Amino acid sequence: MSASAEIGHQRALAAAAPRAFFPSLLILLGLAMAVVPYWSDDVQLREGFLLAAVYITLASNLNVMIGYAGYINFGNIVFFGLGGYVCVDLVTRLHWPLIAAALAGGLAVSLLALVFGFGILRLRGAFFALATIGVNEAVRQFVANFEPWGGATGIYLTFDAYDPLGGPMAALWLVYFLVVAVMVLSLLLSYAIKRSKFGLGLLAIGQNEDAAAVLGVRTPRLKALAYSVSAFLPAVAGGLFFFKSGIIEPNGAFDLTLSIEAIVMIMLGGSGTVAGPLIGAFLYEELRGLLLTSPTISQLQLVIAGLVLLVMVLFAPGGLVGFVNQHWPRMRKFLQ
């Protein structure tokens, strides 16, 4: 079943199902993710979940562009990296509190995306996709030459940056909870968008942009808004993540491979659904973790990702969620 056919079924369901059901599931999931490592004081589990939460955040927000509006943003990681830089800069240079700095990063990046979006979204299809790679590369080059942000070496955080949060140990847990919260917000946001008038407009654009325009959908505005909205939470997540990592530098912040992997996660799980990026990101992270244990296979990371993507596009464009919902329609309630 195609990705967009699944969307049709989803919307038919959404109109009928009780509104609070699926969001409640998402919140429960977030609580479980937050609480389990904390109660068992399992740092390794926390780190694994943290990475998963970051991936889910990236994939969910990216899905608004890819799954709803039908525009592939290959360079989506630029939001994550730029948000990271703004936050870390505010914390180290101006001694802002973490949450404020991360939010500021989110706002700054999404504002930039809004302005930039109007221009870059005049390109269609592959041109837009390639242009987004260019944006990422251009920003990376710029930052690598930008001395106030440490140029090619980047910015280091010293331990006293964690003091306002109660020291490094406490800070790590706090950041973890915040990232999980951002993840849940991302999922809730993409659910809310899907059920809203805004989301309907995006889906119309994704189906047939010209027909949507004739029906009155202000396509440039909606696309730019989607681009901007899809930038906010990844930017916040970037701020939190790099604060926790203690260092941010251009290659790690604007890692094109991760950017592409986010797309693979979406296609693996099922684009155009909320559960799809969630499941896809989780599965992909597990897969990657498994493969990285073998040194030879880790070389082939890109190959494996490519194979997964190819197989999904050719044989299961609806992703796992699409596949499950097609064969077991009653699962649709849980996998929206």
Partner 1 sequence: MIGVLASVIDGVLVGSVYGLAAMGLTLIWGVMRVINLTHGAMIVLGMFIIYFLAKATGLSPYASMPIVVVVAFGVGVATYWIAVDRVIGRPILMSLLATFACNMILIGVGTALWTTSPYNVPVSLPGISWQGYTFTGTHMMAAACAGLIAGLLYLFLNHVRYGKAIRAVASNREAAELSGIPTRQVLAVTFGIGVALACAAGALIATLFPFTVLSGSSYQLKSFVVTVLGGLGNPAGALLGGIALGLIEGLATPFMPVSWTPIIEFALFVVVLLAFPRGIFALSRA
Partner 2 sequence: MSALLEVSALSKRFGGVQAVMDLSFTVEKGEILALIGPNGAGKSTVFDMINGVYPPDSGRIVFEQADITGLPPYEVAHRGIARAHQIVQPLSDLTVLDNCLVGACYGHDDLSLTAGRAVVREIAELVGLGDRLAMPAGQLTTAGKKRLELARALCGRPRLLLLDEVLAGLNPTEVDRMVEVILRIRAGGVSILMVEHVMRAIMQLSDRIVVLNLGRHLAEGSPQEIANHPAVIEAYLGDSKLMAAVGAERP
Supply 144's token pair. 């690598």
x-marked contacts with partner 2 along 203-232 as a string, rule CB under 8 A: xx--xx-xxxxxxxxxx-------------
Residues 6+ apart with CB under 8 A from 205: 69, 70, 212, 217, 219, 222, 223
The stretch near partner 2 (CB under 8 A) out of 149-157, 202-210, 224-232, 324-332 is 202-210
d(CA 65, CA 198): 12
Stretch that binds partner 1, among 46-54, 118-126, 155-163, 182-190 (CB under 8 A): 118-126
Least separation in angstroms between CB 121 and partner 1: 11
> Which among partner 2, partner 1, none contacts residue 213 (Cβ within 5 to 8 A by kind)?
partner 2
Q: By CB under 8 A, how many residues form the interface with partner 1?
A: 37
Residue 255 touches partner 1, criterion: CB under 8 A: no
- According to the binding rule CB under 8 A, does residue 251 interact with partner 1? no
Angle between helices 219-245 and 43-63 (to 10 degrees): 170
Task: With contacts defined by CB under 8 A, name the span among 19-27, 90-98, 122-130, 225-233 that binds partner 1.
Answer: 122-130
Specify the 3-state DSSP secondary structure of 75. Answer: coil
Q: Binder to partner 1 among 25, 47, 301, 333 (CB under 8 A)?
A: 301
Instruction: Give the pair of three-digit tokens for residue 8.
Output: 């049709």
122 binds partner 1 (CB under 8 A): yes
What is the radius of gyration, based on Cα positions, of the chain?
Answer: 19
The binder of 251, among partner 1, partner 2, none, by C-beta within 5 to 8 A per type, is none
Asked whether the beta carbons of 143 and 85 are under 8 A apart, the reply is yes
Q: Is 94 in the site for partner 2 (CB under 8 A)?
A: no
CA distance 76 to 80: 8
- Class of residue 119 by CB neighbours under 10 A (exposed 0-12, middle 13-18, buried 19+): exposed
* 3-state secondary structure (DSSP) of residue 37: helix
How far is the first Cα of the chain from the last one, in angstroms, to the nearest whole number?
15
Q: State the angle between helix axes of 77-94 and 98-120 in degrees (0 to 180), rounded to the nearest 10.
A: 140
Q: Does 129 bind partner 1 (CB under 8 A)?
A: yes
CB of 123 to partner 1, least distance (A): 6
Q: Is 289 in the site for partner 1 (CB under 8 A)?
A: no
Q: Does 36 bind partner 1 (CB under 8 A)?
A: no
Q: Mention every residue, 6+ apart, whose C-beta is less than 8 A from residue 334.
A: 22, 25, 275
The amino acid occupying position 118 is F
Near partner 1 by CB under 8 A: residue from 50, 120, 212, 224? 120
The item of partner 1, partner 2, none sharing an interface with residue 270, based on CB under 5 to 8 Å by kind, is none
Rounded to whole angstroms, the Cα distance separating 175 from 189 reads: 20
Smallest separation, CB 215 to partner 2 (Å): 5
Minimum distance, C-beta of residue 217 to partner 2, in the bound complex (Å): 5
Residue 122 makes contact with partner 2 by CB under 8 A: no
Task: By CB under 8 A, tell whether 317 contacts partner 1.
Answer: yes
Backbone angles phi and psi of 218, in degrees to 5:
-75, 85
Residue type present at position 251: N
Please identify, using beta-carbon distances, which residue of 2 and 298 lies nearer to partner 2: 2
Could you list the residues that contact partner 2 (CB under 8 A)? 2, 4-5, 7-8, 11-12, 15, 196-197, 200-201, 203-204, 207-208, 210-219
Could you list the residues that contact partner 1 (CB under 8 A)? 2, 4, 66, 70, 72, 74, 119-120, 122-123, 125-127, 129-131, 134, 137-138, 141, 260, 263, 267, 299-307, 309-310, 313-314, 317
